[in-house]
């Protein structure tokens, strides 16, 4: 185990939380877990908004600098459509967006809340105004999904998180492949939740989509620690082989980011930091996260420092 002095790799923005429900142009309970991307120089967040019935939809916020001056759609942008898509009966949640360069469009992987439990659906958008549903791709219970931006030997790859046996068997991250974004197979476990006292014991899931770096696909994932007073959602890193994303090259032993500030500790689900999106400009990472299922926080860091931190805290170093 490495016992070096802890230094902060991700720094919270001083104006956190950067977006709360008070910033929305319409009434809602909370705004959290946003996807993030940059389009024509503008930062776009596709935010989960929970209404006062308890059901979620997605709404777009745009900012010239990714920090302030957010312009938020006047009405919900992307809403569950149970008449044609019954799996969206109880709303849609937690989007992750992936830009597909060759198609000049984004694929949104989101949670559809069906009567049978949460499942994974895909949609495509070119402008974050209209969304074309590609349908449900993973049956319940499954969530925390995102697409890789490239194909591997001609097949798309999706990370997702099924929950077998009502969670008693542990919830691990899986990887599946598809020739057409519709038919999925070659399912296999990618990263396993650890056991016992670990911060990421029994339940883990992908946070933002995997990020391509010179060293491999950088994966930020959440680990859930169950305690006597509820769950703590923390974040750790892993690195996957660029050519073969099934190969896990590194995985952090320690968590990298954990609820600390009052807006992360208190809220509808206190003790949860839950990012669904990040952007990279030059070496700067901007991580957008749900704080306590109530508001949106921003944390920034250098990609090179995240990779160096992962090297230093690689769990293989524990052996
Ligand atoms: C997870 C997801 C997230 C949520 C988190 C904390 O299982 O459902 O939407 O932010 O729990 O409540």
The reply to whether 79 falls in a domain is yes
Q: What's the CA gap between 307 and 7, in Å, rounded?
A: 14
Q: What's the CA gap between 93 and 274, in Å, rounded?
A: 12
The reply to whether 14 falls in a domain is no
The reply to whether 21 falls in a domain is no
The pTM assigned to this predicted structure is 0.97
The reply to whether 18 falls in a domain is no
Q: What is the pLDDT along the chain (319 residues), one digit of tens a residue?
A: 555 556 689 999 999 999 999 999 999 999 999 999 999 999 999 999 999 999 999 999 999 999 999 999 999 999 999 999 999 999 999 999 999 999 999 999 999 999 999 999 999 999 999 999 999 999 999 999 999 999 999 999 999 999 998 888 899 999 999 999 999 999 999 999 999 999 999 999 999 999 999 999 999 999 999 999 999 999 999 999 999 999 999 999 999 999 999 999 999 999 999 999 999 999 999 999 999 999 999 999 999 999 999 999 999 644 3
DSSP codes joined into one string, 269-294:
TTTBEEEEEEEEETTEEEEEEEETTT
Q: Which residue reads 């999925």 in tokens?
A: 184
Residue from 58, 233, 265 to probe ligand 1 pocket by mutation (most atoms less than 8 Å from CB): 233
| Domain span at 196 | 28-312
The reply to whether 268 falls in a domain is yes
What is the radius of gyration, based on Cα positions, of the chain?
Answer: 18
Q: How far is CA 260 from the centre of its chain?
A: 19
DSSP codes joined into one string, 102-116:
GGTEEEEEEEEEETT
Q: Which residues line ligand 1 (CB under 6 A)?
A: 33, 93-94, 233, 269, 272, 274, 290, 293
Cis peptide before 17 (omega within 30 of 0): yes
Number of domains in the chain: 1
Write out the two tokens for 312.
């230093």
The reply to whether 17 falls in a domain is no
CATH at residue 66: 2.115.10.20
The reply to whether 7 falls in a domain is no
The per-residue pLDDT for 168 is 86
Q: How far is the CA of 3 from the centre of ligand 1 (A)?
A: 31
The reply to whether 130 falls in a domain is yes
């Amino acid at each position: 185990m490495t016992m070096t002095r802890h230094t902060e790799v991700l720094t919270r923005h001083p104006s956190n939380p950067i977006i709360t429900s008070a910033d929305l142009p319409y009434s809602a309970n909370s705004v959290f877990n946003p996807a993030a991307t940059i389009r024509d120089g503008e930062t776009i967040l596709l935010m989960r908004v929970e209404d006062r019935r308890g059901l979620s939809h997605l709404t777009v916020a745009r900012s010239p600098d990714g920090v302030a001056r957010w312009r938020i759609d006047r009405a919900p942008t992307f809403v569950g459509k149970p008449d044609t898509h019954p799996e969206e009966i109880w709303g849609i949640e937690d989007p992750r967006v992936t830009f597909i360069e060759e198609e000049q469009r984004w694929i949104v992987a989101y949670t559809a809340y069906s009567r049978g439990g949460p499942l994974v659906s895909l949609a495509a958008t070119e402008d974050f105004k209209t969304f074309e549903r590609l349908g449900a791709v993973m049956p319940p219970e499954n969530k925390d999904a995102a697409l890789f931006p490239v194909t591997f030997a001609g097949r798309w790859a999706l990370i997702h998180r099924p929950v077998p046996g009502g969670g008693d068997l542990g919830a691990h991250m899986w990887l599946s492949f598809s020739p057409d974004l519709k038919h999925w197979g070659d399912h296999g476990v990618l990263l396993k939740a650890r056991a016992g006292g670990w911060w990421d014991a029994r339940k883990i899931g992908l946070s933002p989509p995997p990020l391509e770096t010179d060293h491999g696909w950088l994966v930020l994932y959440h680990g859930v620690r169950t305690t006597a007073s509820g769950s703590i959602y923390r974040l750790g890193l892993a690195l996957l082989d660029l050519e073969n994303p099934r190969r896990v090259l590194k995985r952090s032993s320690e968590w990298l980011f954990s609820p600390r500030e009052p807006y992360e500790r208190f809220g509808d689900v206190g003790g949860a930091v839950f990012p669904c999106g990040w952007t990279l400009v030059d070496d700067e990472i901007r991580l957008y996260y749900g704080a306590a299922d109530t508001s949106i926080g921003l944390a920034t860091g250098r990609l090179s420092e995240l990779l160096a931190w992962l090297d230093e805290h690689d769990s293989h170093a524990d052996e």
